[in-house]
């Protein structure tokens, strides 16, 4: 096989570790499991699995459009938001061109960029947050995409409405701004941006959301993008006709309306945060306030070692060495029992 030269630069994804018999708090999955309404919809679907899914995703797009007071023409669906990130690179980026992103962030932006033979310019975390003003300085005539993770994985930090607006007003029109909001449903800050509304005003803005976190459907794979109809039409050209399967189409419509499950999930997250912050602080961990369903903490020593010891004791979390934080870890907020179990083990380790 003659691999394209630039593909040798594409990093392979490092997933959260799942270990037989150990509790997994490593991938920000919903600790309550999948939405029960989604499970019912899945059971009802089984007898029609011989049929192709609806390639146009009509029902799901209408449900999402209704939820966000937009039109279906402003939506594109992907096999996870990972696939939508890949679409942006496929549609916009050519070899020799570049993208911009934060340095300590979700790795798929780099993967998607390098897949197309592009280069990525990364703005490092500084003084407890990321600066979009600084990111702007990396943009030139060959920049095609700005990837903004908000709230950011793995720090849990966020950029507010004013910061996003200032960036959008300053960024040149030839740059597609992708706001990855995988955790936005968990955000509690009053000034967390309403980017879906902003897509009506900015024709170069794409907002990404997912069913993998709050809705508990990571295993079925569904992400969605919201933008101007022009951007959506462009991205539709790189989408294969049946990229989202019939199972997730049925499950997602049900999950979207499962208000009881959504409220419970948010409640469990708030309870978990209220318990974990003081508990982590008490044993000397330095934390950053989160707008997500995970907590970043700096242990002040080798994160990989802590990770391995915790795994041996029975819980996996995420060491952030591959993100560029060799002394920090990220733990998914669990149920009260899971959080207490995790803290008991962490206390033993440190
Ligand atoms: C989990 C996550 C996603 C979601 O990916 P899916 O492909 O939809 O499962 C996207 N972006 C970030 C930053 C994430 O942490």
Q: CA–CA separation, 72 vs 59, rounded Å?
A: 10
Q: What atom of ligand 1 comes closest to residue 108's alpha carbon?
A: 11
pLDDT band (50, 70, 90) for residue 15 = confident
Mean pLDDT of 270-298: 98
Mean pLDDT of 50-72: 96
Closest listed residue to residue 275, CA positions, set 301, 299, 298, 295? 295
Query: What percentage of the chain reaches a pLDDT higher than 90?
Result: 95
Q: Which tokens sit at 182?
A: 């995988």
Give the pLDDT confidence of 267-280 residue by residue, as tens digits.
999 999 999 999 99
On whether the CB atoms of residues 86 and 279 are closer than 8 A, the answer is: no
As a dihedral over the C-alpha atoms of residue 188, residue 151, residue 314, residue 286, rounded to 10 degrees, the angle is -80
DSSP-assigned letters across all residues of 221-269: --EEEE--HHHHHHHHTTS-TT-S-HHHHHHHHHHHT-HHHHHHHHHHH
Residue nearest to atom 15 of ligand 1 (CA): 153
In the predicted model, what is the mean pLDDT of the chain? 97
Q: What atom of ligand 1 comes closest to residue 82's alpha carbon?
A: 7
Q: What atom of ligand 1 comes closest to residue 153's alpha carbon?
A: 13
Residue nearest to atom 3 of ligand 1 (CA): 182
pLDDT surpasses 90 at 129: no
Question: Which pLDDT value is given to residue 13?
Answer: 85
- Pocket of ligand 1 from Cβ distances under 6 Å: 28, 80-82, 106, 149, 153, 180, 182, 210, 212-213, 218, 223
């Amino acid at each position: 096989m003659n691999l394209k030269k630039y593909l040798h630069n594409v990093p392979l994804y490092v997933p959260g570790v799942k270990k037989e018999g150990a509790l997994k708090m490593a991938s920000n999955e919903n600790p309550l499991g999948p939405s029960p309404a989604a499970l019912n919809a899945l059971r009802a679907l089984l007898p029609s699995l011989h049929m192709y899914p609806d390639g146009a995703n009509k029902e799901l797009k209408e449900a999402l459009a209704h939820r966000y007071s937009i039109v279906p023409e402003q939506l594109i669906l992907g096999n996870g938001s990972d696939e939508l990130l890949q679409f942006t690179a496929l549609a916009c980026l050519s070899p020799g061109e570049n993208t911009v992103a934060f340095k300590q962030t979700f790795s798929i932006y780099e993967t998607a960029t390098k897949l197309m033979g592009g280069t990525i310019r990364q703005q490092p975390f500084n003084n407890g947050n990321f600066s979009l003003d600084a990111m702007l300085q990396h943009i030139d005539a060959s920049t095609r995409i700005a990837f903004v993770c908000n709230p950011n994985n793995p720090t849990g930090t966020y950029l507010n409405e004013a910061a996003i607006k200032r960036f959008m007003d300053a960024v040149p029109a030839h740059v597609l701004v992708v706001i990855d909001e995988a955790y936005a449903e968990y955000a509690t800050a009053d000034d967390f941006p309403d980017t879906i509304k902003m897509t009506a005003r900015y024709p170069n803005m794409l907002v990404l959301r997912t069913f993998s976190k709050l809705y508990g459907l990571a295993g079925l794979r569904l992400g969605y993008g919201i933008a101007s109809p022009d951007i959506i039409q462009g991205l539709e050209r790189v989408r294969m006709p049946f990229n989202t399967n019939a199972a997730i189409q049925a499950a997602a419509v049900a999950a979207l309306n499962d208000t009881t499950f959504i409220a419970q999930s948010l409640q469990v997250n708030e309870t978990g945060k209220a318990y974990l912050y003081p508990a982590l602080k008490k044993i000397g961990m330095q934390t950053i306030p989160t707008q997500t369903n995970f907590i970043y903490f700096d242990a002040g020593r080798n994160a990989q070692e802590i990770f391995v010891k915790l795994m041996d004791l029975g819980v996996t979390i995420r060491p952030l060495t591959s993100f560029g934080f060799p002394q920090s870890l990220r733990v998914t907020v669990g149920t009260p029992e899971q959080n207490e179990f995790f803290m008991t083990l962490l206390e033993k380790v440190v």
